[in-house]
Amino acid sequence: MSRLVVISNRVAVPKARGAAGAQGGLAGALNAALRKNGGIWFGWSGQGVDQFTGSINYARSGDGVTTATIDLEYQDVDEYYNGYANSTLWPLFHFRIDLTRYENEFGVGYERVNERFAEAVLPLIEAGDDIWVHDYHLMPLGEQLREKGVKNRIGFFLHIPWPPTNLLVSLPFHERLVRALLRYDLIGLQNDTWLDSFLHYCRKELGAEVDEETGTVVLEGRKTIARAYPIGIDFEHFMSKGETGEARQAQQRLESSTRHRTAMIGVDRLDYSKGLPERLDGISRFFDNYPERVRDLVFIQIAPPSREDVQSYQHIRAVLEQKTGQINGARSEVDIVPIRYVNRGHSQEELFGFYRGAKIGLVTPLRDGMNLVAKEYVAAQDPNDPGVLILSRFAGAAPQLDCDGEGALMINPHSSDDIAHHIRLALDMPLEERKARWERMIGTVRDDNVHWWTENFVGDLAAIKLD
């Protein structure tokens, strides 16, 4: 069995920026794969320094997983992380071309950091290792490693959507980026929609030979395989959180505070891809259409801040606070506030309790790679009295949770009327229908979990024959 070298922007070690909860079940699954295969997890420490040294900081967890991290210069953080990764690629790949910033220095910093990653991790790679690179921060890393003589199997998984070709071509040097990506042996995307978009680009813009059935892409004699691997939650681990006193207490707090009203919950990072302003517009429309139901429904939005150094994130926080204030100002009574906006994070135990206490889960991203909150909400429900999931048809999880129209209630997150209509349907849905819809969804949430995802990807990578 080959050792596994995992490479990602952030590494789940203590004090890594955003590590607690930023990767959650993914961190657990990768740690499990590393325990099984042996190997190392490499990435950025989350720390900035004045001068890059390439010095590696090693740590070993209690269960025997070794992590290796490097610090980046403040300029690297600005240009690579805040710049190209999160101000160029992130908005573009979420179809927000209006928010995409094209700055030459961002691209230069992105390539520089990928080169630094390659140089730093190179001595850690042994003959026979399989290498698994994660996400949009490190798309050129496979090419950088190839140019340094690495002949190992290298796989890449993209956790965010892949945009349509007519959007991607707006990116300067888009061909160069995708050609670099094709130096990987195996490329994983979240679902068939993103996979189809990727294959379409390779065929149309690069003139590659593409086999739609197998996902094989051949360009200039080199073969890459691209497949869909929908990521799941760590089901057993998450369910164990529901057995804790903290989860039960959180559920009781929510239920007692809603005063016999139905609780509807949204849990999202504070990010424009999540459709939060549009969600509030839909809730406002619901109360406009059914003003008497302000005594039937309370909406709880948990939105911890993220990427506070990026200007567009500061703007969305201000917009949400303004919209929440407007709705509450218009609809509140002395003893009722229709929306509770919570701008901080919560533990998995607390979230489990909140999910179980809420009879409607509202997940309305404008575009999402997967959206594991939708799957967590389904997992946390009481089988005897489950809640209803309202889900954007543009979430990566939609193909799995639609269940031929008999699972989640699918909505268009851009339409306030559609959101309002489905809130009413969910609020009035009888118990038997709620149970039937939940039973259709829970199977895929339980079985297509993050460990299944890891084993599928690592297994397919290991099966690739090296030239």
Candidate list 130, 135, 234, 368, residue with the active-site label: 368
Task: Decide if 410 contacts 437 (C-beta within 8 A).
Answer: no
Backbone φ, ψ for residue 409 (5° rounding): -80, 115
Alpha helix (H) ranges present in 244-385? 245-257, 276-289, 311-331, 348-357, 372-379
Question: How does DSSP assign 288-310, residue by residue?
Answer: HH-GGGGGTEEEEEE-----TTS
Return d(Cα 79, Cα 319) in angstroms, integer: 26
Return d(Cα 178, Cα 174) in angstroms, integer: 6
Q: How many CB atoms lie within 10 A of CB 78?
A: 17
237 included as an active-site residue: no
The per-residue pLDDT for 314 is 81
Return d(Cα 331, Cα 62) in angstroms, integer: 52
Mean pLDDT by 10 residues, the chain (467 residues): 92 49 63 88 95 93 85 97 96 95 96 98 96 97 98 97 97 97 98 97 98 97 97 94 97 94 95 94 97 96 78 83 95 93 92 98 95 96 98 96 97 98 98 98 96 95 91
pTM confidence score: 0.93
Backbone φ, ψ for residue 227 (5° rounding): -145, 160
Q: How many CB atoms lie within 10 A of CB 121?
A: 24
Return d(Cα 368, Cα 350) in angstroms, integer: 24
Q: Which two tokens stand for residue 15?
A: 């004090």
Q: Which two tokens stand for residue 426?
A: 């969910």
The per-residue pLDDT for 313 is 75
130 included as an active-site residue: no
Nearest to 466 by CA among 210, 127, 216, 126: 127
The per-residue pLDDT for 12 is 78
Candidate list 159, 174, 200, 451, residue with the active-site label: 159
| Whole-Å CA distances, 420 to 283, 285, 413, 461 | 6, 6, 10, 45
> Half-sphere exposure (CA, 13 Å, Cβ side) for 167?
19
- CA 60 vs. chain centroid, Å, equals 26
Q: Which two tokens stand for residue 454?
A: 């890891």
Query: Per residue in 250-292, pLDDT tens?
Result: 999 999 999 889 999 999 988 889 999 999 999 999 999 999 9
Which burial class, exposed, middle or buried, applies to 447 when counting CB atoms under 10 A from its CB (0-12, 13-18, 19+)?
Answer: exposed
